[in-house]
Chain A
Amino acid sequence: MNRRIASIASNTFREAVRDRVLYNLIAFALLMSGAAILVGQISIDIERLVVINLGLTAVSLFGIVIAIFIGIGLVSKEIEKRTLYTVLSRPVRRWEFIVGKFFGLAGTLVVNTFFMAIGVFAALLYVSHRFQRSDGWLLVALYFIVLEFLIITALALLFSSFSSPLLSAVFAFSLFVIGSFAEDLRGFAGLTHGITRWLATGAAYLVPNFSALNVISSVAHDQPVSGQLIAYNSAYALVYAAMALSGAVLIFERRDLK
Chain B
Amino acid sequence: MSGLRRITVIASAVLLISLVASVVLLRRVDEVRSGATLEEVLYISSPKLLKRLSLGYSGLLADIYWTRAVQYFGSKHHVGAERYDLLAPLLEITTGLDPHLTVAYEYGSSFLAARPPNGAGMPQRAVQLEEFGIRNNRDDWKLYYELGFIYYMELKDYKAAAEAFARGSRIPNAHPWLKLLAARMAERAGDVRTAQMMWATTFNSTTDKSIRANAAAHLRALQVDDDVTNLETLVERYRQQTGHLPGSFSDLISAGFLRGVPVDPLGRPYKLGGDGHVEVRDPDDLPFIQKGMPPGYVPPKAPKFLPSD
- Please report A residues at the B interface, Cβ cutoff 8 Å: 93-95, 181, 183-184, 186-188, 190-191, 205, 209, 211-212, 217-218, 221, 226, 228-229, 232-233, 235-236, 239-240, 242-243, 246-247, 249-250, 253
Contact = CB atoms under 8 A, between A and B. Distances in A.
Given A232-B32, A246-B18, A247-B15, A184 B25 contact: no
Contacts of B23: 205
Contacts, number: 84
A212 B4 CA distance: 37
Contacts of A240: 18, 22
A110 B21 CA distance: 25
Interface string B4-42: 100110011011001101110110111011001100100
Contact of A181 (B11, B26, B64): B64
A246 B9 CA distance: 10
Given A235-B25, A243-B15, A243-B19, A212 B67 contact: no
Contact of B22 (A94, A221, A243, A247): A243
Given A184-B67, A253-B8, 12 more contacts: A190-B71, A236-B25, A236-B29, A239-B18, A239-B22, A240-B18, A242-B14, A243-B18, A243-B19, A246-B14, A250-B15, A253-B11
Contacts of A243: 14-15, 18-19, 22
B70 interface: yes
A141 B205 CA distance: 50
A243 B19 CA distance: 6
B297 interface: no
A102 to B, nearest CB: 13
A95 B7 contact: yes
Given A183-B37, A243-B22, A209 B29 contact: yes
Contacts of A217: 40, 43
B22 A236 contact: yes
B300 to A, nearest CB: 23
A212 to B, nearest CB: 5
Given A205-B22, A218-B40, A243-B15, A191 B70 contact: yes
A256 B66 CA distance: 48
B179 to A, nearest CB: 37
Contacts of B14: 242-243, 246
A185 B130 CA distance: 29
B125 interface: no
Contacts of B3: 93
Contacts of A253: 4, 7-8, 11
B29 A249 contact: no
B1 to A, nearest CB: 14
A232 B7 CA distance: 28
